[in-house]
Protein backbone atom coordinates (compact mmCIF):
# COMPACT_ATOMS: atom_id res chain seq x y z
CA UNK A 1 0.00 0.00 0.00
CA UNK A 2 2.85 2.40 0.83
CA UNK A 3 4.37 1.93 -2.61
CA UNK A 4 1.10 2.83 -4.30
CA UNK A 5 0.63 5.91 -2.10
CA UNK A 6 4.18 7.10 -2.72
CA UNK A 7 3.86 6.47 -6.46
CA UNK A 8 0.57 8.40 -6.60
CA UNK A 9 2.22 11.37 -4.89
CA UNK A 10 5.27 11.21 -7.13
CA UNK A 11 3.21 10.75 -10.31
CA UNK A 12 0.68 13.46 -9.55
CA UNK A 13 3.49 16.01 -9.26
CA UNK A 14 3.40 16.24 -13.07
CA UNK A 15 0.12 18.10 -12.59
CA UNK A 16 2.02 20.77 -10.64
CA UNK A 17 3.87 21.56 -13.85
CA UNK A 18 0.58 22.04 -15.68
CA UNK A 19 -0.81 24.24 -12.89
CA UNK A 20 2.34 26.36 -12.89
CA UNK A 21 2.10 26.82 -16.66
CA UNK A 22 -1.59 27.80 -16.51
CA UNK A 23 -1.39 30.34 -13.72
CA UNK A 24 2.22 31.57 -13.57
CA UNK A 25 3.68 30.83 -16.98
CA UNK A 26 6.91 28.91 -17.46
CA UNK A 27 9.26 29.35 -14.46
CA UNK A 28 12.49 31.32 -14.95
CA UNK A 29 15.77 29.75 -15.97
CA UNK A 30 17.35 29.91 -12.52
CA UNK A 31 14.35 28.33 -10.83
CA UNK A 32 14.15 25.51 -13.34
CA UNK A 33 17.91 24.94 -13.22
CA UNK A 34 17.90 24.68 -9.42
CA UNK A 35 14.89 22.35 -9.43
CA UNK A 36 16.33 20.01 -12.06
CA UNK A 37 19.80 20.07 -10.47
CA UNK A 38 18.36 19.38 -7.02
CA UNK A 39 16.33 16.42 -8.29
CA UNK A 40 19.44 15.08 -10.00
CA UNK A 41 21.51 15.42 -6.83
CA UNK A 42 18.96 13.53 -4.74
CA UNK A 43 18.72 10.78 -7.36
CA UNK A 44 22.51 10.40 -7.47
CA UNK A 45 22.74 10.25 -3.68
CA UNK A 46 20.00 7.63 -3.43
CA UNK A 47 21.53 5.53 -6.20
CA UNK A 48 25.17 5.61 -5.09
CA UNK A 49 24.87 5.74 -1.30
CA UNK A 50 21.87 3.46 -0.79
CA UNK A 51 20.53 1.49 -3.77
CA UNK A 52 23.79 0.02 -5.05
CA UNK A 53 25.27 -0.92 -1.63
CA UNK A 54 21.94 -2.46 -0.59
CA UNK A 55 21.71 -4.38 -3.87
CA UNK A 56 25.22 -5.77 -3.32
CA UNK A 57 24.40 -6.78 0.26
CA UNK A 58 21.23 -8.65 -0.73
CA UNK A 59 22.62 -10.22 -3.90
CA UNK A 60 25.99 -10.27 -5.60
CA UNK A 61 28.15 -8.08 -7.79
CA UNK A 62 26.90 -9.94 -10.86
CA UNK A 63 23.26 -9.31 -9.95
CA UNK A 64 24.04 -5.66 -9.22
CA UNK A 65 25.79 -5.09 -12.54
CA UNK A 66 23.12 -6.89 -14.57
CA UNK A 67 20.27 -5.08 -12.84
CA UNK A 68 22.01 -1.72 -13.17
CA UNK A 69 22.69 -2.20 -16.89
CA UNK A 70 19.10 -3.37 -17.45
CA UNK A 71 17.80 -0.18 -15.86
CA UNK A 72 20.03 1.91 -18.11
CA UNK A 73 19.05 -0.13 -21.17
CA UNK A 74 15.30 0.23 -20.57
CA UNK A 75 15.58 4.02 -20.27
CA UNK A 76 17.81 4.16 -23.37
CA UNK A 77 15.35 2.12 -25.43
CA UNK A 78 12.46 4.32 -24.32
CA UNK A 79 14.48 7.36 -25.37
CA UNK A 80 15.20 5.85 -28.78
CA UNK A 81 11.76 4.42 -29.54
CA UNK A 82 9.19 6.77 -28.03
CA UNK A 83 8.87 10.48 -28.89
CA UNK A 84 9.17 12.70 -25.86
CA UNK A 85 10.17 16.22 -24.96
CA UNK A 86 11.91 18.31 -22.37
CA UNK A 87 12.54 21.98 -21.76
CA UNK A 88 15.90 22.90 -23.29
CA UNK A 89 15.65 26.25 -21.56
CA UNK A 90 12.92 28.08 -19.69
CA UNK A 91 11.02 29.01 -22.84
CA UNK A 92 11.59 26.37 -25.52
CA UNK A 93 10.59 22.75 -25.84
CA UNK A 94 13.04 20.29 -27.39
CA UNK A 95 11.43 17.22 -28.97
CA UNK A 96 13.53 14.07 -29.18
CA UNK A 97 12.82 11.62 -32.02
CA UNK A 98 10.89 14.33 -33.92
CA UNK A 99 10.70 12.12 -37.02
CA UNK A 100 8.30 9.88 -35.08
CA UNK A 101 5.86 12.72 -34.54
CA UNK A 102 4.94 13.14 -38.22
CA UNK A 103 4.99 16.87 -37.58
CA UNK A 104 2.90 18.90 -40.01
CA UNK A 105 1.50 22.38 -40.06
CA UNK A 106 -1.01 22.92 -37.23
CA UNK A 107 0.07 19.64 -35.64
CA UNK A 108 0.85 21.02 -32.17
CA UNK A 109 -2.00 19.09 -30.57
CA UNK A 110 -0.83 15.84 -32.16
CA UNK A 111 2.65 16.60 -30.88
CA UNK A 112 1.23 17.13 -27.39
CA UNK A 113 -0.61 13.81 -27.43
CA UNK A 114 2.50 11.91 -28.48
CA UNK A 115 4.65 13.64 -25.89
CA UNK A 116 2.02 12.68 -23.32
CA UNK A 117 2.35 9.05 -24.43
CA UNK A 118 6.15 9.16 -24.30
CA UNK A 119 6.33 10.59 -20.79
CA UNK A 120 3.62 8.20 -19.58
CA UNK A 121 5.77 5.30 -20.78
CA UNK A 122 8.89 6.79 -19.19
CA UNK A 123 7.14 6.96 -15.82
CA UNK A 124 6.54 3.19 -15.63
CA UNK A 125 10.18 2.24 -14.88
CA UNK A 126 10.35 5.19 -12.49
CA UNK A 127 7.44 3.65 -10.60
CA UNK A 128 9.27 0.32 -10.59
CA UNK A 129 12.15 2.11 -8.85
CA UNK A 130 9.75 3.19 -6.08
CA UNK A 131 8.46 -0.37 -5.75
CA UNK A 132 12.01 -1.73 -5.51
CA UNK A 133 12.89 0.85 -2.88
CA UNK A 134 9.85 -0.05 -0.77
CA UNK A 135 10.89 -3.71 -0.86
CA UNK A 136 14.12 -2.64 0.83
CA UNK A 137 12.67 -0.13 3.32
CA UNK A 138 9.75 2.34 3.49
CA UNK A 139 12.18 5.21 4.13
CA UNK A 140 14.14 4.45 0.95
CA UNK A 141 10.94 4.21 -1.06
CA UNK A 142 9.87 7.63 0.22
CA UNK A 143 13.18 9.27 -0.69
CA UNK A 144 13.03 7.79 -4.20
CA UNK A 145 9.43 8.98 -4.58
CA UNK A 146 10.38 12.53 -3.54
CA UNK A 147 13.27 12.61 -6.02
CA UNK A 148 11.09 11.33 -8.86
CA UNK A 149 8.33 13.75 -7.88
CA UNK A 150 10.72 16.69 -8.23
CA UNK A 151 11.82 15.36 -11.60
CA UNK A 152 8.19 15.03 -12.73
CA UNK A 153 7.32 18.72 -12.30
CA UNK A 154 9.34 19.82 -15.39
CA UNK A 155 7.94 16.81 -17.25
CA UNK A 156 4.48 18.18 -16.52
CA UNK A 157 5.49 21.44 -18.17
CA UNK A 158 6.72 19.51 -21.21
CA UNK A 159 3.35 17.75 -21.54
CA UNK A 160 1.16 20.77 -20.79
CA UNK A 161 2.86 23.23 -23.14
CA UNK A 162 1.98 21.62 -26.51
CA UNK A 163 -1.49 20.54 -25.33
CA UNK A 164 -2.30 24.07 -24.23
CA UNK A 165 -0.89 25.53 -27.44
CA UNK A 166 -2.96 23.00 -29.40
CA UNK A 167 -6.17 24.47 -27.99
CA UNK A 168 -7.19 22.12 -25.18
CA UNK A 169 -8.99 23.60 -22.18
CA UNK A 170 -7.17 24.00 -18.89
CA UNK A 171 -9.14 21.11 -17.39
CA UNK A 172 -8.19 18.71 -20.19
CA UNK A 173 -4.55 19.82 -20.05
CA UNK A 174 -4.54 19.17 -16.31
CA UNK A 175 -6.13 15.72 -16.70
CA UNK A 176 -3.78 14.63 -19.48
CA UNK A 177 -0.75 15.81 -17.51
CA UNK A 178 -1.97 14.06 -14.38
CA UNK A 179 -2.61 10.89 -16.36
CA UNK A 180 0.92 10.92 -17.77
CA UNK A 181 2.28 11.01 -14.23
CA UNK A 182 0.00 8.40 -12.71
CA UNK A 183 1.42 5.63 -14.89
CA UNK A 184 4.05 5.69 -12.15
CA UNK A 185 1.52 3.72 -10.09
CA UNK A 186 1.50 0.93 -12.70
CA UNK A 187 5.28 0.75 -12.47
CA UNK A 188 5.20 0.64 -8.67
CA UNK A 189 2.72 -2.25 -8.73
CA UNK A 190 4.91 -4.12 -11.23
CA UNK A 191 7.95 -3.47 -9.07
CA UNK A 192 6.24 -4.93 -6.01
CA UNK A 193 5.17 -8.03 -7.94
CA UNK A 194 8.45 -8.69 -9.72
CA UNK A 195 11.06 -7.57 -7.22
CA UNK A 196 9.34 -8.96 -4.10
CA UNK A 197 9.77 -12.62 -5.07
CA UNK A 198 13.08 -13.16 -3.26
CA UNK A 199 16.11 -11.29 -1.93
CA UNK A 200 17.89 -11.82 -5.25
CA UNK A 201 15.01 -10.16 -7.09
CA UNK A 202 15.00 -7.32 -4.56
CA UNK A 203 18.73 -6.91 -5.20
CA UNK A 204 18.16 -6.82 -8.95
CA UNK A 205 15.30 -4.36 -8.48
CA UNK A 206 17.40 -1.97 -6.41
CA UNK A 207 20.18 -2.12 -9.01
CA UNK A 208 17.61 -1.59 -11.78
CA UNK A 209 16.31 1.48 -9.95
CA UNK A 210 19.86 2.85 -9.59
CA UNK A 211 20.60 2.34 -13.28
CA UNK A 212 17.34 3.94 -14.40
CA UNK A 213 17.77 6.97 -12.15
CA UNK A 214 21.44 7.56 -12.99
CA UNK A 215 20.54 7.36 -16.69
CA UNK A 216 17.82 9.99 -16.15
CA UNK A 217 20.27 12.24 -14.29
CA UNK A 218 23.03 12.00 -16.91
CA UNK A 219 20.80 12.03 -19.99
CA UNK A 220 18.19 14.59 -18.95
CA UNK A 221 18.56 16.44 -15.67
CA UNK A 222 22.19 17.59 -15.83
CA UNK A 223 22.15 18.62 -19.53
CA UNK A 224 18.79 20.40 -19.18
CA UNK A 225 19.68 22.23 -15.98
CA UNK A 226 23.13 23.39 -17.11
CA UNK A 227 21.69 24.64 -20.41
CA UNK A 228 19.40 26.94 -18.42
CA UNK A 229 21.85 28.28 -15.84
CA UNK A 230 25.07 26.38 -15.10
CA UNK A 231 25.84 27.87 -11.67
CA UNK A 232 22.27 27.52 -10.41
CA UNK A 233 22.21 23.94 -11.71
CA UNK A 234 25.43 23.09 -9.86
CA UNK A 235 24.10 24.66 -6.66
CA UNK A 236 20.93 22.58 -6.92
CA UNK A 237 22.91 19.42 -7.68
CA UNK A 238 25.22 19.90 -4.68
CA UNK A 239 22.30 20.71 -2.37
CA UNK A 240 20.36 17.64 -3.54
CA UNK A 241 23.40 15.37 -3.21
CA UNK A 242 24.12 16.56 0.33
CA UNK A 243 20.50 16.38 1.42
CA UNK A 244 20.14 12.90 -0.01
CA UNK A 245 23.26 11.75 1.85
CA UNK A 246 22.07 13.28 5.13
CA UNK A 247 18.65 11.65 4.83
CA UNK A 248 20.17 8.25 4.12
CA UNK A 249 23.06 8.38 6.63
The band of 14, judged by pLDDT with boundaries at 50, 70 and 90, is: confident
151 vs 173: CA distance, rounded Å? 19
Instruction: Name the H helices within the chain.
Output: 2-12, 14-24, 29-46, 52-58, 61-81, 108-136, 138-165, 170-195, 199-216, 222-228, 230-248
Q: Which residue has the higher pLDDT, 248 or 187?
A: 187
Paired with 96 in beta bridges are: 84
Q: Which residue has the higher pLDDT, 61 or 148?
A: 61
Mean pLDDT, the chain, whole residue set: 80
Half-sphere exposure for 173 (CA within 13 Å, toward CB): 25
Quick one: average pLDDT of 210-218?
A: 88
pLDDT at residue 159 above 90? no
Write out pLDDT tens, residues 67-116: 999 999 988 888 777 655 555 544 455 555 544 445 443 456 766 676 67
| Structural domain boundaries, residue 95 | 2-248
Whole-number pLDDT of residue 147: 83
Backbone angles phi, psi at 184, to 5 degrees: -55, -35
49 vs 55: CA distance, rounded Å? 11
Sign of CA dihedral 220, 221, 222, 227: positive
Whole-number pLDDT of residue 104: 44
Q: Which residue has the higher pLDDT, 129 or 248?
A: 129
Whole-number pLDDT of residue 248: 72
Quick one: average pLDDT of 139-150?
A: 84
141 vs 131: CA distance, rounded Å? 7
Whole-number pLDDT of residue 103: 45
Write out pLDDT tens, residues 168-178: 888 888 998 88
Quick one: average pLDDT of 35-42?
A: 83
The CA-atom distances, in angstroms, between 67 and each of 47, 63, 70, 191, 208 are: 13, 6, 5, 13, 5
The structural domain count of the chain equals 1
> What DSSP state is assigned to residue 60?
-
Amino acid sequence: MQALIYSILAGSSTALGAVALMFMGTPGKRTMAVLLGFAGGVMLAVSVFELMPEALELGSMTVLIMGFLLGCLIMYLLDRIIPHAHLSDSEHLTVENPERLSMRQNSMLRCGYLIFLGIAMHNIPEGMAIGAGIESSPELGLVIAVAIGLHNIPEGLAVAGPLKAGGLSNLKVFLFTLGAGLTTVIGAALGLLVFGISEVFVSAGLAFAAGAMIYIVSDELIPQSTSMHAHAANAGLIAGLLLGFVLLA
